[in-house]
Amino acid sequence: MEEAGAAVATAGEAELNLSRLSVSLETLESELEARGEERRGAREALLRLLLPHNRLVSLPRALGSGFPHLQLLDVSGNALTALGPELLALRGLRTLLAKNNRLGGPGALPKGLAQSPLCCSLQVLNLSGNCFQEVPTSLLELRALQTLSLGGNQLQSIPAEIENLRSLECLYLGGNFIKEIPPELGNLPSLNYLVLCDNKIQSVPPQLSQLHSLRSLSLHNNLLTYLPREILNLIHLEELSLRGNPLVVRFVRDLTYDPPTLLELAARTIKIRNISYTPYDLPGNLLRYLSLASNCPNPKCGGVYFDCCVRQIKFVDFCGKYRLPLMHYLCSPECSSPCSSASHSSTSQSESDSEDEASVAAHRMQKVLLG
C-alpha cells in the first residue's frame, strides 16, 4: 500500500490519482468518500479523477455524490461491463476515458444518457478496446462531443446517424470489422481527423469530399482497390495513409458497362440536344429523371449519364512521387478521354494524363503513406 499511497494526490490539488491501488472495491469506496468529504470543506474543486487499473467491476457509488465539479474521469483498464447511473451525476464532465474494459453488452451505458446534462458537457469520449458490436444509439445524441474513440471493438458498421455529431473533430474507428463508409459521414463540418484503418472497407464514398476541414485520413490495412476522384477536393488534407491496401500493389482496370435503358436514352437525348420542354410535355418519371443528370468528365465529350456509366481508373500523381488510382465515370466506352486512356495506357502516358491534376494536388497532399 505504500506505492498506492504515493499515487494519491493531496486534498489541495485539482487532480486525484488513485490508479493501480490494488485494493478492494470497499477500500476504494472509503477512500473516495473520505476525499469527497475533504473537498466539501476545500475552496478548490476536484476537476480530475484518475482510477485506471484498479480491477473495478462497477463505478464507485461515491462518485456521484462526492465530486460534482469533476471535468475528467479515467476508468480505463478495469473490468467494467457497464457505466452505471453514477455517471449521470457528473453534470459538468468533459472527458471520459473508459478504454480497455468489458463494455459492449446491453446496458453498457446508463439509461437517460442522451437526456442528461452530459449531452451538452461531454467533449471527449474514449471507449476503445471494449466489446461494442455497434455504436450505441445514445452516443449519437451527445451533440457537444468533439472526440469519439471506438477503436479495437467489434463494430460491423457505422450508423448513418453519425451525422448528428456536428461538433465532432476527431473520429477513431480503427481496428474493427467495418465494411462500408456511410455517405452521411461527409456531413460532419468540423471533422479534422478520421481514422478507419484496420477494417474491411472496400470503397470510399465520394461524399467524403465534403469534409472540408479534414487534415488526416487513415485508411491503411483495408481492402481498397481505388479512390474516388473527389478526394482531390479535400483541400486541407495533409496526411493520407493507404499502406496495406490492394491499390498499393495492384490496380483495378476493369471496364464495366451495361446498355442504357430506354428511359436513360430518352433523357440523354433531351439533355444533349438541349430540347426545350414543359412539365406538361413529358411523363412524371422522365421529368424526375432529368434532374439526376451527371456530366461526363471528358471535356471533349459534352455528354451526360444517369444510371448507366463506365467505371474507369485514372492514375493521379501526388507530390511527384506516388501515383494513386482514382475512380472516374464516363458516359460510354467510346468516350475517349484522358480518363479512359489513363487506365489502359503505358506508364508514360498515364503520367502525362495526370500532369494537370498532379500540379493542383501536389501542394495539397504533403504526406502520402503507402508503405
Segment 152-207, tens digit of pLDDT: 999 999 999 999 999 999 999 999 999 999 999 999 999 999 999 999 999 999 99
- pLDDT at position 308, please? 85
- pLDDT at position 254, please? 46
8 A C-beta contact, residue 172 and residue 155: no
CB within 8 Å of 147: residues ≥ 6 apart: 123, 124, 125, 126, 168, 169, 170, 171, 172
Q: Answer whether residue 361 shows pLDDT above 60.
A: no
Q: Answer whether residue 345 shows pLDDT above 60.
A: no
- pLDDT at position 46, please? 83
Task: Give the chain's mean pLDDT.
Answer: 81
Q: Answer whether residue 25 shows pLDDT above 80.
A: no
- CB burial class (10 A; 0-12, 13-18, 19+) of residue 43? exposed
Query: Could you tell me the three cell numbers for 84?
Result: 452505471
Residue 15 vs residue 319, higher pLDDT: 15
- pLDDT at position 133, please? 97
Choose from 12-16, 82-86, 197-201 the range with maximum mean pLDDT: 197-201
- pLDDT at position 279, please? 87
- pLDDT at position 324, please? 72
Choose from 158-162, 265-269, 316-320, 350-354 the range with maximum mean pLDDT: 158-162
Percent of the chain topping pLDDT 70: 75
- pLDDT at position 165, please? 96
pTM comes to 0.73
- pLDDT tens-digit readout, 266-301: 999 998 888 998 888 888 889 889 888 888 888 788
Q: How far apart are CA 371 and CA 364, in angstroms?
A: 20
8 A C-beta contact, residue 211 and residue 188: yes
Residue 249 vs residue 128, higher pLDDT: 128
Instruction: Indicate the helix (H) or strand (E) that contains 72.
Output: strand 72-74
- pLDDT at position 11, please? 41
71-75, 80-84, 357-361: segment of lowest average pLDDT: 357-361
Q: Answer whether residue 220 shows pLDDT above 90.
A: yes
Q: What is the dihedral of CA 243, 183, 214, 252, to 10 degrees?
A: 30
- pLDDT at position 40, please? 52
Q: Answer whether residue 41 shows pLDDT above 90.
A: no
Q: Tell me the CB-side half-sphere exposure of residue 48, using CA atoms within 13 A.
A: 12
- pLDDT at position 367, please? 65
